[in-house]
């Protein structure tokens, strides 16, 4: 069974193949930051990097008839952006007369252990805070959060398990998320 992320990606590719521009926008929204960070590791020219990413998405749209042959959108996009950035850099170096055979490409990346530790600590703090806030929810609200976000069930499945209507699932989920947001933000402001 595929996880929800993989299923979403497959759905987006199918929608893309059906000329759904919103699917392309969702793919861009989902992957743009990762693509930018990866591409910027090969070339520090942010304009060139942004142009290359845009060209990749334009190319994907132009070749959308073959979109369902893509097995992993993330891999496909990372590879396409890398190739596009390296070709652009190669072409610029050739035009400037600075092309060298021994230097295939440069990879700029700072692997900061401190940054990873800080990010992990912040994630852990957020997880502890979220767990505490969830514990303040009613049992039904806790159950719906568990079924939706931990078990990744569809709304209809949740309705059957909780013995409520599908509309009630939407309502309860909306109410629960609103409460989580309110408590989360009120605690943030109180800090």
Domain ranges across the chain:
4-96, 114-190
Identify the CA nearest to 131 among candidates 189, 88, 183: 183
* Spatial separation of the C-alpha atoms in residues 9 and 43, rounded to whole Å: 28
CB atoms within 10 A of CB 46: 11
pLDDT value of position 78: 92
Give the CATH class of 4-96: mainly alpha
Angle at which helices 46-62 and 73-96 pack, to 10 degrees? Answer: 130
State pTM to two decimals.
0.53
pLDDT values of the chain reduced to their tens digit, one per residue, 191 residues: 445 677 888 888 889 889 999 999 999 999 999 899 888 888 888 898 999 999 999 999 998 988 778 888 888 999 999 999 888 877 776 776 665 544 555 666 555 677 778 888 888 888 898 899 999 999 999 999 999 988 889 999 999 999 999 999 999 999 999 999 998 888 766 65
Give the CATH class of 114-190: mainly alpha
């Amino acid at each position: 069974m595929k996880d929800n992320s993989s299923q979403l990606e497959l759905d987006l590719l199918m929608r893309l193949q059906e000329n759904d521009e919103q699917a392309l926008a969702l793919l861009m929204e989902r992957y743009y930051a990762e693509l930018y960070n990866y591409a910027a590791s090969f070339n520090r020219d942010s304009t060139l990097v942004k142009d290359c990413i845009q060209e990749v998405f334009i190319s994907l749209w132009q070749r959308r008839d073959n979109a369902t042959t893509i097995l992993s959108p993330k891999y496909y996009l990372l590879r396409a952006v890398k190739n596009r950035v390296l070709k652009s850099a190669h072409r610029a170096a050739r035009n400037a007369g600075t092309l060298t055979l021994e230097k295939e490409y440069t990879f700029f990346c700072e692997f900061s252990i401190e940054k990873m530790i800080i990010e992990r600590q912040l994630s852990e703090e957020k997880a502890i805070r979220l767990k505490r806030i969830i514990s303040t929810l009613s049992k039904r609200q806790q159950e719906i959060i568990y079924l939706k976000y931990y078990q990744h069930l569809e709304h209809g499945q949740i309705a059957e398990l909780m013995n409520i209507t599908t509309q009630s699932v939407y309502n309860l989920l909306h109410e629960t998320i609103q409460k989580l947001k309110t408590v989360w933000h009120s605690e943030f402001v109180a800090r």
